[in-house]
Amino acid sequence: MKQVSDSGKVVCEEVDVANLGIQQKQQLLESILQIVEEDNERFLQRLRNRTDRVGIDIPKIEVRYEHLSIERDAYFGSRALPTLLNSTLNVIEVIGIFLTVNFESL
């Protein structure tokens, strides 16, 4: 892991994650995520500055729908939790519905 000391010197150290406590793991993860966010933001800012500097217009897409209707079945309560039991019950229910529809069409 690289760190910048108060004197401005870059210090590299190896971190054994297996021996870290819960708080130390959380701090390590937060510092890594913060670095990733800063790098991503810096990259996007440089890309935007470059496209602005050379005068490239980024294409814009607009999607419109007319007479759109969306319908979906949803589970609620304890059945909505993604547990192994609920997933199994959902699959069995879908298979049952599928078999019922197929038998009625025969």
The pLDDT score that the predictor gives to residue 31 is 81
C-alpha to C-alpha distance for 37 and 43, rounded to whole angstroms: 10
Residue 9, pLDDT score: 78
CA quadruple 27, 28, 31, 37: dihedral positive or negative? negative
pLDDT value at residue 104: 56
Per-residue pLDDT of the chain (106 residues; tens, 9 = 90+): 666 667 777 777 777 878 888 888 888 888 878 877 888 888 889 998 998 899 888 888 888 999 988 888 777 788 888 889 988 988 898 888 888 766 555 5
Give the per-residue pLDDT at 66. 92
3-class secondary structure, 82: coil
How high is the pLDDT of residue 82? 84
CA separation for the pair 86, 3 (Å, rounded): 46
CA 22 to chain centre: 23
User: What pTM value is reported for the model?
Assistant: 0.36
Every domain of the chain and the residues it spans? 2-54, 72-106
* Cβ atoms < 10 Å from Cβ of 42: 10
